[in-house]
Structure 1
Amino acid sequence: MEFADTDRLRFDYITAHDADFLWELDQDEEVMRYLNGGHKSTRAEIDSVFLPRLAAYSNQALGWGLWKVIEKESDTAIGWILVRPFGFFTSHPDIDNIELGWRFKRAYWGKGYASEAARAIRDGLAFTGISKFSAIAAPKNAGSIAVMRKLGMSFSHTQFYEDNVYSEDVVVYTQEV
C-alpha cells in the first residue's frame, strides 16, 4: 500500500533500515514526555524493543506499520504515523478498528503536520473499506488530543492500557467514517 502525498508531505514505509531516524526522533525529552516520562530511547532499545515490536504488526500490503512523514519542500523526515489494529499488543486486539498514532520532531509541532499526515493516512485506509479508527493518548497530552479532534475523532472512554512496554491510563478517541 502507498499513501498519496499532501501539498506539504509525502510518506515512506519505515523498516529496520530507518533505525537511525527512529533513534534521532526519540532523543528529545519533550517528544518522549507522555510516552515514558521524557526518557530518551537508547539505540539498544530501538534495536531490541522498538524494531521487533514494529516487525510484529508491520504489513505494508494492509498499510500497517509506521509511515515516515517527509516535508516535501525541505525533503526532511519530520515524524511518523503509526497504523495497526487497536490494542495490538494487548490481550484483546481489534483488527476491525485501526489505531492511528504519531510522533514528530518538536520543531514541527503546532504547524498542522500531524493532523495533515494522519488525515491523509486515514483517508487512504478508508478508501480500502476500513471504517473505524481510534487513537490513544495520556490524558494530559493536549497536543495529541487536539490532533484527534482535528481528525474528527470523539472521546470514547478512558482505559488502563497495558502491554509489555506501556502501562498507563489513556484516553481513547474514536471515529467511524
Structure 2
Amino acid sequence: MTVASTDRLILREWTDAPTDLIRIFEIYSREDVMRWLGGGAGRLLEPEQAAERLATWRQRYAPYHGRYGLWAIEVRDTGKLAGSVLLKPLPGADGHTPTQDIEVGWHLHPDSWGHGYATEAARAVLAREFATGNRQVYAVVTPGNERSMAVCRRLGMTYVGRRSEWYGGTEVETFLLTAE
C-alpha cells in the first residue's frame, strides 16, 4: 500500500517479499545505521530476524490504521529501497507508552545517503500529517548524528535543545516543525 509519493519516491508499506526482507536486514544489521538508533551493535539484526522485525512494526502501528507507521522509501526510477521513513507518537518516559507528541524520522542504508531521500520522504509524511490538523511534529536525534540534524534543518525544523522526556529518559537532540 502506498502511503505517499513524490516525483522521485514511493513511500509504501514494507512487505514480506524477499527483496523487502533482505533490505530490512541490510539496513538494520549495520553498525553505521544502528549506532544512531539507540542500542548500537547490541541491536544489530540477524538475517532470520527481518521477518520478525516487520511483524513487530505491523503490530505496533496497527492501532493507528495507517496514520502512523514505519514505511519503505522506494526510489521510483530504480525500485531500490533506500530505507525507512517513520511517523509515530513518541514513546514516553517509560520507553513504551505513546505520548501525544508526534515524531518524524528516517533510517537509510548508507548507499542511499547524500541523495536527499530522507528530506524528501520526511516532507511527504509531514505534509500528510499536517493535513490531519496536527500543528506540530518533532524529530529526535542521537547526539552526534550530524547527518540527521542536517536533515532536520533542511526540513525547516527549529532546534529546541536536548530533551529527555521520551524514549525512557534518553537524552536526544530535539527539533520541532510547526505547521504554517
TM-score (ref. length: structure 2) = 0.81
Corresponding residue to 1:94 among 99, 112, 123: 99
Distance (whole Å) between structure 2 residues aligned to residue 23 and residue 152 of structure 1: 31
Q: Kindly provide the CA deviation profile for residues 27-82 of structure 1, in whole angstroms up to 9, marking residues without a partner as x.
A: 32212222233553224554556742552234463421111100011111111101
Q: Kindly provide the CA deviation profile for residues 67-126 of structure 1, in whole angstroms up to 9, marking residues without a partner as x.
A: 11000111111111011112267366323x321111011011111110001001111121
Structure 2: tracts of 5 or more residues without a match: none
Question: Secondary structure, in 3 states, of the residue corresponding to 1:140?
Answer: coil
% same residue = 29
Quote the residue 2:27 is aligned against: 25
| Aligned-pair Cα RMSD in Å | 2.7
Shift of 1:173: 0.9
Q: Kindly provide the CA deviation profile for residues 128-177 of structure 1, in whole angstroms up to 9, marking residues without a partner as x.
A: 222210111111000111111111111123123444xxx74211111110
Alignment of 1:10-159 (within 5 A): 10-14=10-14, 18-35=20-37, 36-38=39-41, 40-43=44-47, 46=50, 51-52=55-56, 54-59=58-63, 61-87=65-91, 90=95, 93-95=98-100, 97-159=101-163
Distance (whole Å) between structure 1 residues aligned to residue 50 and residue 170 of structure 2: 21
Alpha-carbon contact 1:65-1:82 (below 8 Å) kept: yes
Quote the residue 2:9 is aligned against: 9
Distance (whole Å) between structure 1 residues aligned to residue 142 and residue 131 of structure 2: 29
Give the aligned length: 173
Structure 1: tracts of 5 or more residues without a match: none
TM-score (ref. length: structure 1) = 0.82
Distance (whole Å) between structure 2 residues aligned to residue 54 and residue 135 of structure 1: 22
After superposition, the Cα gap between the structure-2 partners of 1:162 and 1:60, relative to the gap in structure 1 and judged at 3 Å, is closer
